[in-house]
Amino acid sequence: MQQGLLRRAGKRWSVLGVRDFRLLYLAGAASWFGDEFFVLAVAFAALDLTGSVSAVGTVFAAEFAVLGACLLVGGTVADRVGRRRVMILADVARASTQAIVAFLLLSGQAELWHLVALAGIRGGASAFFDPASTGLVPLTVSGERLQEANALRGMTRSVCVIAGPVGAGLIVTFASSGAAIAVDAASFVLSALLLAAMRVHEPVLEVAESFMRSLAGGWKEFRSRTWLWAGVAQASLFHMVALAPFLTLGIVIARDEIGGPAAWSLVLAAFGAGTLLGGLVALQLRPRRPLVGALAASALYAPQMILLGLAAPVPLIALAALAGGAGVAFWSTVWETTLQQQVPLESLSRVAAYDWLGSLAFLPLGFALAGPAAGLFGAGETLWFGALLLLASVAIVLALPGVRSLRALDERPA
């Protein structure tokens, strides 16, 4: 029996033997690892330049504001001119901006406005890269192996989220923020070289229609599928009422009630370990009704919110966070696979852009409202209410026939 499990696990990992997918996977790993260097390094750089926490928020706000503003354009361009080409150009842009930031910091010429402007450019480039990446994965593996490919990518991203800040912290501590951002620039160069080495056949559509008509075509594909817009609406609510309050108020509760930074670090580490566990489950388990399994898994995020709101013992919260991380990772993998299998290839990057934009649209609002809500009702009560809304949203979306009846496909639609 154990040999059988090992054989099945080895078969799942064998998707890395597909040359084009392996190159795409390694390119993603390089840029994800570099992303974590940027997050930590630019925060310390902004603090060193200004001494203000608000300056850190301004830099990140610039990046995500431009990211959101450009997503639909990025997805449409990728469908019109080719995903790999767009991804390479986005990597070149991000490598260039990060190299400039690193030079300014290392030479002592950096000012806050430099960080803000270049972070905005970086966000714009990411808005082109991410939808194109979603659309390129199905061109590198067969339909029946899409979930394996997405699970491996998700697991690797989780590893980068855990390991990246450690490496960045060491470089910032023993060298400088500029040196850490230089590593980020190099990661994008490596990603671009790996993507350029791919031999994937990517049919580029001869688009006679205008850009705006192409953009509208993506919206038509998006809104015509009940499961798609309902799932994105649920993801948007999840980010606003669950993810944002948990991250914002968790720090406060940890400081005041459950043991401080060490306790909070344990909870976050457990969640990170859970995302790896969820990726392993997604490698093995392919639900025939994918959205039923995915949405049910997303509900596993609620117990950690409830227990944190109760200021329960830290090991219990950490155990719930482990389950929550596994549920979120499984949900994310199955959702992306379903999107790639159910949406026609020629529209996939545009639809993925609507998915990205809709899912993240209310995340900033969630961060902004978490503090005031805790002031009015209490931190624990805010988390409990968010958990209740999360569970209610899962139940409502699962009640839709178009969601429950959707079946997994082994091949993409023509």
Q: Where are the domains of the chain?
A: 17-208, 220-404
Query: What single letter denotes the amino acid at residue 81?
Result: V
The CA distance from 168 to 155, in Å, is: 20
Q: Is residue 63 a contact partner of residue 98, using CB atoms and an 8 Å limit?
A: no
Q: Is residue 67 a contact partner of residue 131, using CB atoms and an 8 Å limit?
A: no
Give me the residue label for tokens 């160069």. 189
Phi, psi for 225 (deg, rounded to 5) = -115, 110
Structure tokens at 319: 């155990």
Query: By CB neighbour count within 10 A (0-12 exposed, 13-18 middle, 19+ buried), where does 305 fall?
Result: buried
Under the banding of pLDDT at 50, 70 and 90, the label for residue 364 is confident
pLDDT of residue 413: 47
Under the banding of pLDDT at 50, 70 and 90, the label for residue 407 is confident
Q: Is residue 117 a contact partner of residue 46, using CB atoms and an 8 Å limit?
A: no
- The alpha carbon of 378 is separated from its chain's Cα centroid by a whole number of angstroms, namely 29
Using one digit for the tens of pLDDT, what is the confidence trace for 147-183? Answer: 888 888 888 888 887 777 778 778 888 888 899 999 9
3-state DSSP percent of the chain in helix, strand and coil, to 5: 85, 0, 15
Give the least confident one: 105-109, 255-259, 324-328, 379-383: 255-259
- Classify residue 272 as left (phi > 0), alpha (psi -120 to 50) or beta: alpha
CATH of domain 220-404: 1.20.1250.20
The CA distance from 233 to 311, in Å, is: 30
51: helix, coil or strand? coil
pLDDT of residue 361: 82
Q: Is residue 77 a contact partner of residue 214, using CB atoms and an 8 Å limit?
A: no
pLDDT of residue 196: 94
Answer yes or no: is pLDDT of 115 > 50.
yes
The CA distance from 272 to 393, in Å, is: 24
Give me the residue label for tokens 């070289």. 193
Please report, rounded to a whole number, the percentage of residues in the chain having pLDDT higher than 70.
Answer: 93
254 DSSP assignment: I
pLDDT of residue 2: 40
17-208 shares its CATH topology with 220-404: yes
pTM: 0.80
379: helix, coil or strand? helix
Q: Is residue 78 a contact partner of residue 86, using CB atoms and an 8 Å limit?
A: yes
Answer yes or no: is pLDDT of 8 > 80.
no
The CA distance from 79 to 375, in Å, is: 46
Does domain 17-208 fall under CATH 3.40.50.2300? My reply is no
Average pLDDT estimate for 220-235? 92
> Which of 227, 386, 401, 383 minimizes the C-alpha distance to 309?
383
Give the least confident one: 67-71, 124-128, 202-206, 379-383: 202-206
Cα separations (Å) of 99 from 96, 104, 119, 172, 288? 5, 9, 12, 16, 46
**Beta carbons within 10 angstroms of residue 167's beta carbon:** 16
**Beta carbons within 10 angstroms of residue 401's beta carbon:** 9
